[in-house]
Structure 1
Amino acid sequence: MPLLEIENLQKTFGAHTALHHFAMQVERGEFITFLGPSGCGKTTVLRMIAGFETPTRGTIRLAGRDVTHLRTRQRKVGMVFQSYALFPNMTVAENIGFGLKVLRRPQAEIRARVDEMLALIKLPTLGERYPWQLSGGQQQRVALARAIAGKPQVLLLDEPLSALDAKIRVSLREDIRALQRELGITSIFVTHDQEEALSISDRIVVMNEGRIEQVGTPSEIYNFPRTRFVASFVGTLNVLAGQVLDPATGRIAVEGQELVTAHALASGDAGKKRLLAVRPEAIVLEAPAAGRNSLAATVEEVSFLGSVVRIRARVRDSVLSLDIFNDPNRRLPERGQPVTLGFSHENLLVLEESATASS
Structure 2
Amino acid sequence: MATATEFLEIGGLRKSYGQNAVVHNFDLSVKRGEFISFLGPSGCGKTTTLRMVAGFETPTAGSIRIDGREVTQLRPNQRNVGMVFQAYALFPNMTVADNVAFGLKVAKMPAAEIGPRVAEMLNLIKLPHLADRYPYQLSGGQQQRVALARALANKPQVLLLDEPLSALDAKIRVSLRSEIKALQRDLGITTIFVTHDQEEALSMSDRIVVMNEGNAEQVGTPFDIYNYPRTRFVASFVGTLNILRGKVIDAKAQKLVIDDQEIYATRGVSDAVDGEIRSVALRPEAITLAGSAEDQGNGRNRMHGTIEDVNFLGAVVRIRVRFKDNAVSLDTFNSPTVAPPERGQAVTVSFGREDVLVLEGAETA
Specify the SS of the correspondent of 1:164: coil
Distance 1:104 1:267 in 2: 59
Question: Pick from 206, 209, 216: which aligns with 1:205?
Answer: 209
TM-score (norm 1): 0.96
Q: Alignment partner of 1:175: what SS?
A: helix
Alignment partner for residue 228 of structure 2, among 207, 224, 227?
A: 224
Q: What does 1:168-183 align with in structure 2 at a 5 Å threshold?
A: 168-183=172-187
The Cα shift of 1:328 comes to 2.8
For 2:49, give the aligned amino acid: V
**Whole-angstrom distance in 2 between the partners of 1:268 and 1:74:** 49
Aligned match of 1:323: 331
Q: Aligned equivalents of 1:328 and 1:224: distance in 2?
A: 35
Task: Verify the 8 A CA contact 2:244 2:327 in the aligned structure 1.
Answer: no
Amino acid of the structure 1 residue aligned with 2:157: Q
Shift of 1:342: 0.2
Secondary structure class of the residue paired with 1:132: helix
Quote the residue 1:215 is aligned against.
Answer: 219
Alignment of 1:296 with 2:304, yes or no, is yes
- Tell me, in whole angstroms, the C-alpha distance in 2 between the residues paired with 1:94 and 1:150: 14
Q: Which residue of 1 aligns with 2:92?
A: 88
How many pairs align? 355
CA distance in 1, matches of 2:29, 2:23: 17
2:54 alignment partner in structure 1: 50
Partner residue of 1:26? 30
Q: Which residue does 2:349 correspond to in 1?
A: 341
Alignment partner, residue 358 of structure 2: 350
Partner of 1:3: 7
What's the counterpart of residue 77 of structure 1?
Answer: 81
Q: Which moved more, 1:48-57 or 1:320-329?
A: 320-329
What is the CA-CA distance between 1:308 and the residue it aligns to?
2.4
Deviation at 1:303, TM superposition (A): 1.5
Alpha-carbon distance in structure 1 between the residues aligned to 2:196 and 2:314: 26
1:285 is the counterpart of 2:280: no
The letter of the residue matching 2:348 is T
Alignment of 1:83-122 (within 5 A): 83-122=87-126
**What's the offset of the Cα at 1:326?**
2.7
Q: CA deviation at 1:300?
A: 1.3
- Match for residue 64 of structure 1? 68
Name which of 189, 192, 209 aligns with 2:193.
189
Q: Which residue of 1 aligns with 2:248?
A: 244
Gaps of 5+ in 1: none
The separation in 2 between residues aligned to 1:189 and 1:171, in whole angstroms, is 16
Measure the CA separation in 2 of the matches of 1:148 and 1:306: 45
Residues 249 and 263, structure 1, Cα contact 8 Å, conserved in 2:
no
Greater Cα shift, 323-332 or 190-199: 323-332
Q: Deviations over 1:53-83 (max 9, x none)?
A: 0000000000000000001111000000000
Farther-moved stretch of structure 1 (246-255 vs 282-291): 282-291
Partner-residue secondary structure (3-state), 2:122? helix
Q: Distance in 1 between matches of 2:74 and 2:186?
A: 29
Deviation at 1:327, TM superposition (A): 2.8
Distance 1:37 1:263 in 2: 28
Where 1:125 maps in the other structure, the secondary structure is helix
Paired residues of 1:248 and 1:264 also in contact (CA < 8 A): no
CA distance in 2, matches of 1:97, 1:274: 56
Q: 2:275 aligns with which of 263, 271, 275?
A: 271
State the shift of 1:306 in Å. Answer: 3.1
> For the residues of structure 1 that align with 2:161 and 2:336, how far apart are their CA atoms?
44
CA–CA separation in structure 2 for the residues paired with 1:41 and 1:268: 31
Matched residues in 1 for 2:229 and 2:278: separation? Answer: 15
The aligned amino acid for 1:335 is: R
CA RMSD of aligned residues (A): 1.4
Per the alignment, do residues 252 and 184 of structure 1 end up closer, same or farther by CA in structure 2, a change over 3 Å counting? same
Residue 264 (structure 1) shift: 6.9
Q: Which amino acid aligns with 2:23?
A: L
Q: SS in structure 1 opposite 2:341?
A: coil
Q: How much identity, in percent, do the aligned residues show?
A: 65
Deviation for aligned residue 1:350: 0.4
TM-score, normalization by structure 2: 0.95
Query: What per-residue deviation string (whole Å, max 9, x for no partner) do you get for residues 103-146 of structure 1?
Result: 11112211101101111111110000000000000000000000
Native 8 Å contact 2:248 2:272 kept in 1: no
The answer for unaligned runs of 5 or more in structure 2 is none
**Structure 2 equivalent of residue 148 of structure 1:** 152
- What SS does structure 2 have at the residue aligned with 1:214? strand
**Partner Cα distance (1:138, 1:299) in 2:** 49
